[in-house]
Amino acid sequence: MFVGVAFPEIRARRVYRADDVTQALGVALLGTLPAIPARARHVLPEKGSKRDLQKYTLFTESVDAIRTLLLHTAQTDALRVIMITSANGGEGKTSLAGHLAASLARAWRKTLLVDGDLRNPGAHRLFDVQAEPGLSEVLRGEAELEDVVRPTPISRLWIVPAGQWDTHAIQALAQKDVRTFFDKLKKQYDFIILDSGPVLPVADSLSLAQHVDGVILSVLLDVSRAPAIHAATQRLAALAVRVLGSVVAGTRTEPGGFQFQYPVAASR
């Protein structure tokens, strides 16, 4: 009975530790994010228990550490458009994209968050903005770019929601005009954070990845599977897409594995 239970689990190889990503898959680790309840994942939490707010503050501090690494890299590399993706859905990519964009804005960088997960959009809910019109309408030629950019409650942060997708919008992702879209945005913003669809189920993210400067893989402990992460990195590598590294969410200790308590700044 043990063999019957263990064999499928070994074959699936869930990721249980951040080290599983670096040691087994050779993907650089940019940082870890502590596990927080769903009610505390909103980028702009207004209410919650004191414990939830403490966890949220620790979460934002962890994202700020990842932001610091990216800003350091951007000083020497052309790193302006960053795509956040995952091997499969439900692995924390949208939350990471939203919080990273907010962190860059807090660091006085003019930042735009683009929801490129057209089939299953979620970035608009992080900031309580309307889902459409958005990127889908721009891709179909039904709206101008400047008409779908919306401000957020965070200074220096704007968002382009996904809009209402259809097959025409999906097909447009593979057109050369998408590069023109990002080139135009780079003239207006310091950073563009792109929340894309997952790599393995659909080809959307592979189309978008060819127009970005780097990709970050979101990995969720106890959910993400090592073979899927490996397959996703292989697909990106086949297109010569630069994978900056991974961010592992759902850790049960403080960032870096340390257990001691230390005062952190209040959320901004």
Residue 249 has φ and ψ, to the nearest 5°, of: -105, 155
Domain locations in the chain? 15-256
pLDDT tens, position by position, 141-177: 999 999 999 999 999 999 999 999 999 999 998 887 8
Closest CA to 30 of 94, 82, 102, 87: 82
Q: N- to C-terminal Cα distance for the chain?
A: 52
Q: Confidence class of residue 22 from pLDDT cuts 50, 70 and 90?
A: confident
Q: DSSP readout, the chain?
A: -HHHHHHHHHHH-B--SHHIIIIIH---EEEEEE---GGG-SSS-----HHHHHHHHHHHHHHHHHHHHHHHHHTTS---EEEEE-SSSSSSHHHHHHHHHHHHHHTT--EEEEEE--SS--HHHHHT----SSHHHHHTTSS-HHHH-EE-SSTTEEEE------HHHHHHTTSTHHHHHHHHHHTT-SEEEEEE--TTT-SHHHHHHTTSSEEEEEEETTT-BHHHHHHHHHHHHHTT--EEEEEEEEESSSGGG-------PPP-
**Is CATH 3.40.50.300 the classification given to domain 15-256?**
yes
Q: Of 16-25, 104-113, 222-231, where does mean pLDDT reach its minimum?
A: 16-25
Cα 80 from Cα 71, distance rounded (Å) = 10
pLDDT tens, position by position, 237-253: 999 999 999 999 998 75
Angle at 222 between CA 218 and CA 224, to 5 degrees: 40
pLDDT tens, position by position, 52-79: 778 788 889 999 999 999 999 998 888 9
Cα 43 from Cα 138, distance rounded (Å) = 26
How many other β-carbons are positioned within 10 Å of the β-carbon of residue 69? 14
pLDDT over threshold 60, residue 83:
yes
Residue 169 corresponds to which amino acid? Answer: A
Tokens, residue 32: 């870890």
CB 42 within 8 A of CB 126: yes
Query: Which residues share a beta bridge with 116?
Result: 196
pLDDT over threshold 90, residue 19:
no
Q: What is the pTM of this model?
A: 0.88
| pLDDT at residue 45, rounded to an integer | 63
Cα 126 from Cα 116, distance rounded (Å) = 15
